[in-house]
Amino acid sequence: MRAMVHSKSALRHWQRCSEHQGALSKPSNSCPGSALQEGLRPACQHGPDECRLNRVVNCAQRLRPAQAQWLPFVTCLSDRPRSKVLSSVERCAAGTAIDADALWRCVDGPDGDKLEQLAAGATAALDPAHK
């Protein structure tokens, strides 16, 4: 998450740009060249916590597609210390339109797998390539 949004000013810039471009962030920091085969999970550059957090954000976006609904949740997470981000999911969800139980079902289920594969595929297709 910290790799995705480094500061509040960067977050505000990203918000403005995505509103104008209609962009939807697809969090994935898959290692360049990692296999993206059905049933395999991409490797994340910053470890398993990053992979899990990517799934959390992707699922939040799936549950609440409107940016105005999921972005406060992501902002709450990005304000947490790195060591407490994953343990803050329920707290951040409670303050937004995100249902924490539905979120965890997505994260831990086949929807989370599918979203992770889609995000990794989008990352692999970037031009120039993600490094």
Query: Where in the chain are the domains?
Result: 48-124
72 HSE (CA, 13 A, CB side): 12
pLDDT at 125: 81
Does pTM surpass 0.85? Answer: no
| Contact assessment for residue 69 and residue 97, using Cβ atoms and an 8 Å cutoff | yes
- pLDDT (0 to 100) of residue 48: 78
Q: Is the distance from CB of 91 to CB of 73 less than 8 angstroms? A: no
Average pLDDT over residues 56-62: 95
For residue 22, name the pLDDT band (cuts at 50, 70, 90).
very low
Distance in angstroms (rounded) separating the CA atoms of residues 30 and 44: 5
Token digits of residue 7? 């500061």
Q: How far is CA 11 from CA 63, 72, 131, in A?
A: 21, 11, 21
pLDDT (0 to 100) of residue 57: 94
| Proportion of the chain above pLDDT 70, given as a percent | 65
- Whether 8 has a pLDDT exceeding 70, the answer reads no
Here the tokens at position 58 are 């992707």
Q: Which residue has the higher pLDDT, 31 or 119?
A: 119
